[in-house]
Amino acid sequence: MKAIQITSYDGPRGLTYDTLPEPEPAPEQVALNVEFAGANYVEALFAGGFVPKPLPWVPGIEAAGRIRALGERVEGLAVGDRVAALTINAGGAYGQVAVTHAQLVAPIPAGMDPSLASVVPSNTTTALISLERVAHLRPGEHVLVHAAAGGLGSQFGQIARTLGAGRVVGVVGGEEKKQAALDLGYDEVWLRADLENAEPGQFDVIADPVAGPGRITSLELLRLGGRLLAVGDASQAGDQVVSSNTLWLKGIGVHGFNLGAMSAAHPRIVGTYLRRALALVASGEVTVHIAERAPIQDAPRVLTALRDGRTIGKTVFVHERPTGSQP
């Protein structure tokens, strides 16, 4: 098969397009002929050595395609089924063939564009699980979302609304992203520079995929009983120290959520949320803005733009069809 792999931890420059052996599914896994793969910020981090796995390896945490082969003890799926999949634990969606746990695979709803389905598994599922199961968002609560126009932030704002949130406010890094965030349905959009002057105690839930000093500033914006969701580290600005006494005295909490850890520990639960996420996007209740469809060979360019914060919405990578795959 052909695949983009990380051959050195030099950022996107360390990605190469090579011919590799096709992976085979282990028990409880499936192998996919990958047609489309979503581009994610975390993959730019992977290229820089954020998770220093032995080199080389094929990244890619979400995909859509057809089931190619079934491992032992897999039920309810068949070769040829068109599916969306989280490949977040083993990686591999940047290759023409990828393997993943069978419970992290979900049928693509009838009539849904498979390229759109490929960019649902990571971000929409993360927003749904973390807001509902971790933050326990309640109807009428007020929500603040950092990186509101990005691939992940755009899903948090919309999912919060579907779960009954009252006021939903987005935060973006620059003026050029404000309108894109407003178009997603936020009630208000702030600039990151405005956070320090914001009135404290406004929000019940804050979703933060950015981290950095803004994570500490955000704690001041939580009401009594408020919850901050730590769901990423896009700033790469170093770890932030939170005072446990601050949490106690203010009556607030910080909750971490990592989709990879959840998928490894509870694939059945994550698979259930993946199906719900696909249904929400297929119905149009939640939208995923696809900014570009690009050949997988363009991964270095796309990941450079992601790393530098120059993207709005999602990029879909398109694979060449492997020999013998179904149309």
Give me the pLDDT at residue 322, please: 58
- pLDDT (tens digit, 9 = 90+) per residue, 125-153? 999 999 999 999 999 999 999 999 989 99
What span, in angstroms and rounded, lies between the C-alpha atoms of 223 and 271? Answer: 33
- pLDDT (tens digit, 9 = 90+) per residue, 162-202? 999 999 999 998 888 899 899 999 999 999 988 989 999 99
DSSP 209-231: SS-THHHHHHHTTEEEEEEEEE-
Is 20 exposed, middle or buried (CB count within 10 Å of its CB: 0-12, 13-18, 19+)? middle
Q: Please state the rounded mean pLDDT for residues 211-215.
A: 89
- pLDDT (tens digit, 9 = 90+) per residue, 222-254? 999 999 999 998 888 888 888 899 999 999 999
Give me the pLDDT at residue 250, please: 95
What span, in angstroms and rounded, lies between the C-alpha atoms of 141 and 135? Answer: 11
> The pTM is what?
0.94
User: Hey, what CATH class is 126-259 in?
Assistant: alpha beta
Q: Give the list of residues 6+ apart from residue 151 with CB closer than 8 angstroms, or none.
A: 38, 40, 41, 119, 122, 123, 311, 313, 314
Which tokens sit at 73? 């003890």
Q: Give the list of residues 6+ apart from residue 280 with CB closer than 8 angstroms, or none.
A: 124, 128, 159, 162, 286
According to CATH, the superfamily of the domain at 2-119+288-318 is: Medium-chain alcohol dehydrogenases, catalytic domain (3.90.180.10)
Which tokens sit at 46? 């992977």
- Average pLDDT, whole number, for the chain? 94
Instruction: Name the segment(s) of the chain with CATH classification 3.90.180.10.
Output: 2-119+288-318
- Of 261, 282, 262, the closest CA to residue 272 belongs to 262
Report whether 205 contacts 221 (CB < 8 A): no
Give me the pLDDT at residue 325, please: 52
